[in-house]
Amino acid sequence: MSHLGGLRRIGPFEVPALGLGCMNLSHAYGTPPSAATAERLLLAALDAGVRLFDTAALYGFGANEELVGRVLAPYRDDVVLASKCGMTGVDGKRVIDGRPETIRRTCEEALSRLGTDVIDLYYLHRVDREVPVEESVGALAGLVQEGKVRAIGLSEASADTLRRAHAVHPVAALQNEYSLWSRNPELGTLDATRELGVALVAFSPLARGVLTSTPPRMADLRPRDIRHAMPRFAAANYPDNLVLRGQVEALALGAGCSVAQLALAWVLSRGPHVLAIPGTRSVEHLLEDLGALGLALPAAVLDAAGRVLGADTVRGPRYAATTQAEIDTEAFPDAG
């Protein structure tokens, strides 16, 4: 049986295994929710026991940091606040910039937007191919020494890059996409994080909403929704992927849980150093997700889910070629 309750370590902190990814409250999935809806969701997460809240300078080009900082300000000492630098909005466009001077400036801006004097966990959001990761991590280490950051992390980074970064300054967390349909960490970073004592924080653990009770209908997605550009949602692939999703849901129903709960339980079962940060705009879905922490699922059910939906069965790569070129993580030859 897989028991998921209890706390997991991320750098100097101990938090429940499920945090909250805050991106979709301001960014990437079409029109953001109202301020009132976003605030209600954040406070509901806090009330339900969530302690790890994940934002970034990129999300809403600063708007998400402002939102999270404002709503959580009265509870600052009760939460672990994570944000990211190295990829920001410049003149309305997304820019990857890992230069030390940019990281330092972005941190000052983040502290102001978050309304705090220290960021608990600060990630390099993307590895800048024009800047050695050692230089970017050196800047993050300087922020730790100055007391502006408590711990540092990397996002969308490979095992080799993690090792290089960790040699400069201890890396508390590596945030990579990990779910039943995105298995890239199994190409190296799952083992490397375990070996180095680094937390592996899984983003998009519910497969961009596919592994939920309401998988996205492409006809309903707003024009600016990032899933339009993702090959797994293309007309040639998405129907087949929904069939696989249905098979996972059948396993979940047989085990007495929801498809989202099974998907989250599967991710958390990959190791005691693995955490996940699903995102949602719905309090109902939030509480459903958190229900995964109370599950004790048979290993046979988890293994079956992993066989039904995985690198060998999913249709389409994780990203389009232009986006994949910016990503440092290991990739499967055909499925991204």
CA angle 277, 278, 283 (to 5 degrees): 125
| pTM, two decimal places | 0.96
Domain range annotation of the chain: 2-207+266-295
**Residue 300, phi then psi, degrees to nearest 5:** -65, -35
| CATH T-level topology, domain 2-207+266-295 | TIM Barrel (3.20.20)
> What span, in angstroms and rounded, lies between the C-alpha atoms of 336 and 320?
9
Are 305 and 2 spatial neighbours (Cβ–Cβ below 8 Å)?
no
Q: Convert the pLDDT of each residue in 301-314 to its tens digit.
A: 999 999 999 999 99
Are 155 and 124 spatial neighbours (Cβ–Cβ below 8 Å)?
yes
pLDDT for the residue numbered 4: 61
Q: Which residues are part of the catalytic machinery?
A: 59
Closest CA to 241 of 326, 312, 311, 309: 309
Ranges of the chain whose pLDDT falls below 70: 1-5, 334-336
pLDDT for the residue numbered 31: 84
Residue 171 Rama label (left phi>0; alpha psi -120 to 50; beta): beta
pLDDT for the residue numbered 1: 44
